[in-house]
């Protein structure tokens, strides 16, 4: 049994930590105040070789390291990268033809193109089988119509893995994953969602109005979309677990430092037993999140089924992040409630972690299904 990162992984962790401190920290306030999308960071991550997931020889453990370290400073950039790497790049790498890999991956790896993943619709959230987005085959063309919501990276994406059904009465066996080119006629951005947190990361509605796709733009086989969507979400959940872990560490560090500076009753507040109890509980749960996240990543890299472990990691790490930010705000007292202090950003950013890529309720259902089968 080995609980240590390899030498390469340690170097990667130090490199990305350094990059996040040097390049990302200075633009946080611009992202927060102007909802600024950090194109230049995405490009620089591409230059550093941090984009592309498996397609760029980045295994799941390394991918989790990258997302964790970025999310320690910016959970918003964490989710941009998680969607791009774990869902889109890994998706094309795993299910794409050689021609599709040649066509799409170089730009996605360099950061010249950003990827998005479009499954959710207004009536089809936890249950994607209720989707209305559909396609009709007309000779060699596939005409797609429908509306997706909450699509992360939607406004910036060049390519979107989008799911549509051929037969609404049989969605499971007729769902197909298309690689959408957002520059083509028939593609449109709808409303941009106004979010509680993750400022600088965009989620939007997307509209397909007689969008024409071709056979060589189907990812995997036609009608295998549901299987592909679920398989990719398993990997994606490890990314969100890593995002949750990084966010937890960022908030914990702020609270720890503050507790060692703030004095009340003639003592540092870190000397009060109740604050020590909070901090010890926070760090213990963070360690547990880390073990679950990297264990799921390890299994995925070994090619083993990690559906159970990915859901446990996502469930536990996302709920831990919400626990940690709540205690961190408590340790900051009134300053935790002040918009001038960074801890409120972590508090707001954490809230979505138990919702996207499968809510906590859905993770519990998957876990129960896996252990009972
Ligand atoms: C910021 C953000 C980014 C997102 N990015 C993307 C993206 O890039 N691509 C994409 O496709 N989607 C994205 N989503 C959508 C997200 O995945 C969905 O919001 C999520 O799956 C939940 O769906 P819903 O919001 O419709 O909630 P609902 O499914 O309506 O659920 C409402 C409540 O009911 C509970 N519930 C539902 N079914 C059950 C059940 N069977 N048993 C018990 N409880 C249940 C849920 O857990 C939840 O608490 C994003 C969402 C947000 C907020």
pLDDT digits (tens, 9 = 90+) for 239-295: 999 999 999 999 999 999 999 999 999 999 999 999 999 999 999 999 999 999 999
pLDDT at 338: 96
Q: How many residues does the chain have?
A: 373
Residue 112 CA to ligand 1 center (angstroms) comes to 30
Task: Note whether 332 and 324 are within 8 A (CB).
Answer: no
Average per-residue pLDDT for the chain: 97
Residue 356 CA to ligand 1 center (angstroms) comes to 6
**Among 201, 239, 156, 254, which Cα is nearest to 24's?**
201
User: Which alpha helices (DSSP H) does the chain contain, by range?
Assistant: 7-19, 28-34, 39-47, 60-73, 75-82, 90-95, 98-110, 171-174, 225-261, 273-301, 307-332, 343-350, 360-372
d(CA 172, CA 224): 8
Pocket of ligand 1 (CB under 6 A): 83, 117-120, 125-126, 150-152, 195, 203, 352, 355-359, 361-362, 365
CATH numeric code, 7-110: 1.10.540.10
Task: Note whether 300 and 60 are within 8 A (CB).
Answer: yes
d(CA 329, CA 102): 47
Residue 357 CA to ligand 1 center (angstroms) comes to 7
pLDDT digits (tens, 9 = 90+) for 147-156: 999 999 999 9
Each domain of the chain, given as residue ranges in start order, spans: 7-110, 115-223, 227-372
So what CATH class is 115-223? mainly beta
pLDDT at 1: 84
Identify the CATH assignment for 227-372 out of 1.20.58.220, 2.60.120.1060, 1.20.140.10, 2.40.50.140: 1.20.140.10
3-state secondary structure of 139: coil
One DSSP character per residue, 254-321 reads HHHHHHHH-EETTEEGGGSHHHHHHHHHHHHHHHHHHHHHHHHHHHHHTT---HHHHHHHHHHHHHHH
pLDDT over 90 at 352, yes or no: yes
pLDDT over 90 at 325, yes or no: yes
d(CA 164, CA 145): 8
pLDDT at 303: 95
d(CA 299, CA 241): 14
Q: Which of 318, 356, 369 to mutate to test the pocket of ligand 1 (most atoms within 8 A of CB)?
A: 356
Angle between helices 273-301 and 225-261 (to 10 degrees): 150
Q: Which of 87, 149, 359 to mutate to test the pocket of ligand 1 (most atoms within 8 A of CB)?
A: 359
Residues 6+ apart with CB under 8 A from 359: 126
pLDDT digits (tens, 9 = 90+) for 161-170: 999 999 999 9
Task: Note whether 301 and 281 are within 8 A (CB).
Answer: no
- pLDDT confidence bin for 68, thresholds 50/70/90: very high
d(CA 299, CA 297): 5
pLDDT over 90 at 176, yes or no: yes
pLDDT digits (tens, 9 = 90+) for 89-123: 999 999 999 999 999 999 999 999 999 999 999 99
> Could you give the residue numbers annotated as active site?
357
pLDDT over 90 at 192, yes or no: yes
pLDDT digits (tens, 9 = 90+) for 12-52: 999 999 999 999 999 999 999 999 999 999 999 999 999 99
Q: Which of 84, 123, 126 to mutate to test the pocket of ligand 1 (most atoms within 8 A of CB)?
A: 126
pLDDT over 90 at 88, yes or no: yes
pLDDT at 2: 85
Backbone φ, ψ for residue 283 (5° rounding): -70, -35
Q: What percent of the chain has pLDDT over 70?
A: 100
pLDDT at 351: 98
Residue 116 CA to ligand 1 center (angstroms) comes to 17
């Amino acid at each position: 049994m080995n609980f240590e990162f390899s030498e390469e992984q340690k170097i990667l962790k130090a490199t990305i930590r350094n990059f996040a401190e040097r390049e990302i920290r200075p633009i946080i306030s611009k992202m927060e105040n102007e909802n600024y999308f950090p194109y230049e960071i995405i490009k620089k991550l591409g230059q550093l070789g941090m984009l592309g997931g498996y397609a760029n020889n980045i295994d799941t453990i390394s991918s989790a390291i990258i997302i964790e370290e970025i999310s320690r400073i910016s959970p918003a950039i964490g989710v941009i990268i998680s969607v791009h790497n774990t869902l889109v790049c890994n998706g094309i790498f795993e299910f794409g033809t050689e021609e599709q890999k040649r066509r799409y991956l170089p730009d996605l790896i360099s950061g010249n193109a950003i990827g998005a993943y479009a499954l959710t619709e207004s009536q089809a959230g936890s249950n994607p089988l209720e989707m209305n987005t559909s396609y009709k085959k007309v000779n060699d063309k596939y005409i797609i119509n429908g509306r997706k919501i909450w699509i992360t990276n939607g406004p910036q994406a060049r390519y979107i893995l989008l799911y549509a059904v051929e037969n609404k009465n049989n969605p499971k066996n007729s769902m197909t994953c298309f690689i959408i080119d957002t520059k083509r006629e028939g593609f449109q951005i709808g409303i941009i969602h106004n979010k509680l947190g993750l400022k600088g990361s965009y989620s939007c509605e997307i509209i397909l109005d007689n969008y024409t796709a071709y056979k060589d733009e189907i990812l995997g086989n036609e009608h295998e979309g549901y299987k592909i969507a679920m398989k990719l979400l398993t990997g994606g959940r490890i990314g969100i677990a890593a995002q949750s872990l990084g966010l937890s560490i960022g908030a914990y560090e702020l609270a720890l430092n503050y507790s060692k500076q703030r004095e009340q009753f003639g003592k540092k507040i870190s000397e009060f037993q109740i604050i020590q109890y909070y901090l010890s509980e926070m760090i213990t749960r963070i360690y547990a999140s880390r073990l679950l996240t990297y264990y799921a990543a390890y299994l995925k890299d070994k090619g083993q089924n990690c559906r159970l472990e990915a859901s446990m990691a996502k469930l536990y790490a996302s709920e831990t992040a919400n626990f940690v930010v709540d205690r961190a705000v408590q340790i900051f007292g009134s300053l935790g409630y002040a918009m001038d202090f960074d801890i409120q950003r972590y508090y707001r950013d954490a809230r979505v972690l138990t919702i996207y890529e499968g809510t906590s309720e859905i993770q519990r259902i998957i876990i129960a299904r896996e252990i009972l089968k």
